[in-house]
Structure 1
Amino acid sequence: MSHVVTQSCCSDASCVYACPVNCIHPTPDEPDFLTAEMLHIDPQACVDCGACVSACPVDAIVPESKLTDPQRVFLQINADFYKEERPRPLLAKVIPATTVDQGRPPLRVAIVGSGPSAMYAADELLTQPDVQVNVFDRLPVPYGLVRAGVAPDHQKTKQVTRLFDKIAAQKGFEFYLNVEIGNHLSHNELLENHHAVLYAVGASSDRGLDIPGADLPGTASATDFVAWYNGHPDHADDVFDLSHQRAVIIGNGNVALDVARILTADPEKLAATDISAHALAALRKSLVEEVVIVGRRGIAQSAFTVPEFTGLMALPDIELSVGPDDMILDPATEHADALPHAVEQKLKLLEALKNRDHVDVGSKRITLRYLLTPTAITGEDHVTGVEFDRNTLVDGDGAAGIEPTGDTETIDTGLVLTSIGYRGVPLTGVPFDERASVIPNDGGRVLEAPGVYATGWIKRGPSGFIGTNKSCAQETVGKLVDDFNNGNLTSPSADATALDRLVRSRQSAVVDRAGWHAIDKAERERGAAHGRIREKILDQAEALSIINAAAQAKSARRRLWKASH
């Protein structure tokens, strides 16, 4: 019997280092680690010790005997990864923590952003004594896309915030939330008050769809829709028209699958999650019965990952289908001697989906379409449909290429959501590569900007998963500490208390670590009162009132303690 990695795998590799028999791959030492959609346990080598279960931050590893019926497909997915012998390092080398020169003044680092890449970087820095890490975010709440991007019905994945809470509780860590760099503080002011500034701001902009009608009401980005149902403060007042029976999502990555799943889910099954109250109310009134997910290339180029699609297939009350006319392989895939593991698994799943008996399990359905390029969004005052060119697959010098066939198709819809990729955005005072949409860097060290570093998507582009940011952060922090030890970083111009005074003079509504704890506690308590995981507080004035009340209560307790002692 073995343990099995299941859907919520975050790929942070904690399990790899915990495993005593080297049976979890790919490891960070191996070239396919950065592109792997999940980690896999070798069923022949696993000794069933359970060390990986304790190490996993998202409860993705399950003993074979405890797999649920929908999870049993992962037995074969894990086993298939090892069907061909692969060279393996003797054991994944534990990457030693960077060592800060204790003969120098204590290292002080500002991190801009508070998502996974920021928190993993903070954790790496705080392995050393006396290091001070100040995490800045323009939002009043932390954790970035884990809070505002991961779907509310994926609570296991969101459990990684428990790890982030532990990181934030370490000595030397402080939050400066609700503080916008470029508004309340400048980049240069951050540099003046720290040895280094590390940007971990992600890729916060969408790639646009440049076709006629793309600006019609009823058209939006899937990213905005995700932010809306997750209670992102910037999108609390957004309105999406759910009064039509069909929605179309252009793009077929994991975000597209998330959005389709939320649009077709039973709202009462979402009610116990942390979905925003306004989104839940709108979904309860929704008339959407079908979501069509459209990709312009073939099935082998599906952008979604195996775990996400496996989870979608397992839903008992959604009719999921793919048209037989779309089940076409490009020449390069069809004639390949061997396929990457993820591609092979996707093709198996799609073939199984095509061949399984389709029973009308309810009124909601998700349809996968391929080989369609959008050419126009139709409508006058509102979206009425999307026009597509039909493509054919061709050999593009050993890769999959497409050419239009001349055939066209229109899909009627009242809601179009685009999900075709992400872009980083420029930051005032920081170098930026417009073509690649990243901060130009060498292993995280920003080019031509001494003392400035980058990690996460703003460093490498929108690739990888939550846990991939761990190894990414280790590389960047290694460069930063080397520069500090070699005397290449300028010391702060004032002490840490001066920075705190400066921030509060510019933004009186700053949310520090204690303030976030107060918001977090209130959200959990409100959620528990209504049978929910948490009820997110979106009104800033209300959040600040909660913070102030908590601070006053703490002061009162201190006065009582002093009076009694």
Structure 2
Amino acid sequence: MGIVGAGPAGIYAADLLTKDETLAASGTPVSIDILDKLPSPYGLVRYGVAPDHPRIKQIQGALHKILDKPEIRFLGNVEYGVDLKLEDLQHHYDAVIFATGSDRDRSLDIPGIELPGSHGAADFVFWYDSHPDVAPDWHVEGTSVAVIGAGNVAVDVARILAKDADNLLETDITDNVYQGLRAKKVTDVHVFARRGIAQGKFTPMELRELDKQPGVEVIVYPEDFDLDDASLATLEESNQVKTNVKVLQNWAIRDPRGEEKRLHLHFLHRPVEVLGEERVEGLRTERMELTGDGNVRGTGVFIDHDVQAVYRAIGYLGSPATDLPFDEDRGVIPNDAGRVLDLDERAIPGVYATGWIKRGPVGLIGHTKGDALETITNLVADRDHFTPAAEPEPESFLQLLVERGVHYTTWDGWQRLEAHEESLGEEQGRKRVKVRERDEMTRIARAES
């Protein structure tokens, strides 16, 4: 079995395959290769979670236990579509699962969005998480910045923009990130949500984190509070929404603290234009109103906000996979409950998808388990119809990589790199400091001088 993508989706799928009772009862041996284009595993857990969220990053411990299973082999620094094609995988594996996630920013079609100083959140997140394929330098422009979005990524980006860089020194950030954040002059971060306070997609934990930063005051505007019938119904149905609204209400009515930095939360504001000639000079929003069913409509009232940078965090999209159809609007591989479909909407034998590349960037990491279960259940049900791999031997696939000059990394190599990062952290009194450069990561993992 081959799995493309070593994030939570791919790892959970592998785990379920090793536990499947139907396969065990039939005596079918299970051997799984998990391939990733990066030299390291864990995907967005390593490169998509803010560095000051160690509780979320603790999921790496659970993923580590899965990858440590003898039936599973991790092969990093192997890029599908560059080093390998679909026919290569089908030659060596009975079935292939794509778990490549969502790694691009969803676009926002408003005037001025392409001005210098306007950024996608994914680019910024990958930078502060030291992704090896992102340039090391980032200049945080201006004293007042805007973040567009109402989900956990928007909240993460806003918090990092407001946070004192010194308060991140206990995390695993690299020196270039520390220096970049230390140089910023931001005093005000404005977060804009198109809908109301009951429609925010952030979790209570992420929301509360905003108010735990020394020297940063969270400001919520009472005039942004509106609850229509649908909002009130949601409050009754969802403890998460109820908690979020209560937190926001408490922030709105408390006395100002007069902190040096401010993080403003604006609801019912739809961005309509990024202002500026040569670069970002402001953001224009339209005041919205709830329509009674949880949706919103414009009021025709426009407000200009003085900001010098804009970060859009309105969702991620997956990237196309070579040799497979792709739904560009949704950013997913077309599929039916995990079975990948061809252009005629027929299932491609032995090819599956799971995680965000299957369903879009919806839900938290924990939701990925249920999603993987659906895919694996269908894969196991289909197994009698697979075309057996021509060369299923584990060593034959490694030989292919060697012939193509792929400097692949292994699970042992990742543990070697992990130990190196921990030793770098120990020198600075931290748990870990990431290695940023891809070549260096690969060299350390491969034990090359």
Shorter-normalised TM-score: what interval? over 0.9
What's the counterpart of residue 276 of structure 2?
A: 379
Contact residue 83 and residue 404 of structure 2 kept, 8 A: yes
Contact residue 78 and residue 406 of structure 2 kept, 8 A: no
State yes or no: 1:342 paired with 2:240.
Answer: yes
Unpaired runs of at least 5, structure 2: 342-346
SS at match of 1:408: strand
SS at match of 2:294: strand
Q: 1:481 to 1:367 in 2, by over 3 A?
A: same
What's the counterpart of residue 367 of structure 1?
A: 264
Q: CA deviation at 1:286?
A: 1.1
Q: CA deviation at 1:203?
A: 1.7
Separation of aligned partners in 2, 1:379 and 1:281: 28
Q: CA deviation at 1:543?
A: 2.5
What's the counterpart of residue 156 of structure 1?
A: 55
Separation of aligned partners in 2, 1:545 and 1:503: 17
Task: State how 1:82-93 maps to structure 2 within 5 Å.
Answer: none
Deviant stretches of 4+, over 4 Å: 334-337
Q: CA deviation at 1:198?
A: 0.4
> Equivalent pairs: percent with the same residue?
41
Q: CA deviation at 1:276?
A: 2.8
CA deviation vs aligned residue, 1:164-188 (integer Å, no higher than 9, x gap) = 1111111122122111111100011
Separation of aligned partners in 2, 1:238 and 1:215: 20
Separation of aligned partners in 1, 2:336 and 2:367: 18
What's the counterpart of residue 288 of structure 1?
A: 186
Q: CA deviation at 1:354?
A: 1.1
Q: 1:543 to 1:264 in 2, by over 3 A?
A: same
State yes or no: 1:202 paired with 2:101.
Answer: yes
What's the counterpart of residue 498 of structure 1?
A: 396
SS at match of 2:194: coil
What's the counterpart of residue 307 of structure 1?
A: 205
- Return the match for 2:15 from 123, 143, 146: 123
What's the counterpart of residue 333 of structure 2?
A: 439
> What is the TM-score of this pair, normalised by structure 2?
0.92
Separation of aligned partners in 1, 2:151 and 2:35: 30
What's the counterpart of residue 321 of structure 1?
A: 219
What's the counterpart of residue 290 of structure 2?
A: 393
Q: CA deviation at 1:322?
A: 0.7
What's the counterpart of residue 480 of structure 1?
A: 379
Separation of aligned partners in 2, 1:316 and 1:551: 43
Separation of aligned partners in 1, 2:405 and 2:374: 33
Separation of aligned partners in 2, 1:214 and 1:310: 30
SS at match of 1:390: strand
Separation of aligned partners in 2, 1:177 and 1:545: 12
Contact residue 143 and residue 187 of structure 2 kept, 8 A: yes
SS at match of 1:123: helix
What's the counterpart of residue 185 of structure 1?
A: 84
CA deviation vs aligned residue, 1:494-533 (integer Å, no higher than 9, x gap) = 1221111001222332112222122111111111111222
Task: State how 1:69-148 maps to structure 2 within 5 Å.
Answer: 109-127=1-19, 130-148=29-47
What's the counterpart of residue 265 of structure 1?
A: 163
> What is the TM-score of this pair, normalised by structure 1?
0.74
**Residue identity matched to 1:124:** L
Q: 1:344 to 1:299 in 2, by over 3 A?
A: same
**Residue identity matched to 1:113:** G
Q: CA deviation at 1:408?
A: 1.2
Q: CA deviation at 1:342?
A: 2.2
Separation of aligned partners in 2, 1:551 and 1:384: 49
Separation of aligned partners in 1, 2:213 and 2:137: 28
Q: CA deviation at 1:149?
A: 0.8
Separation of aligned partners in 1, 2:406 and 2:355: 30
Larger Rg: 1
Separation of aligned partners in 1, 2:143 and 2:382: 58
Separation of aligned partners in 2, 1:338 and 1:547: 51
Query: How many residue pairs were aligned?
Result: 436
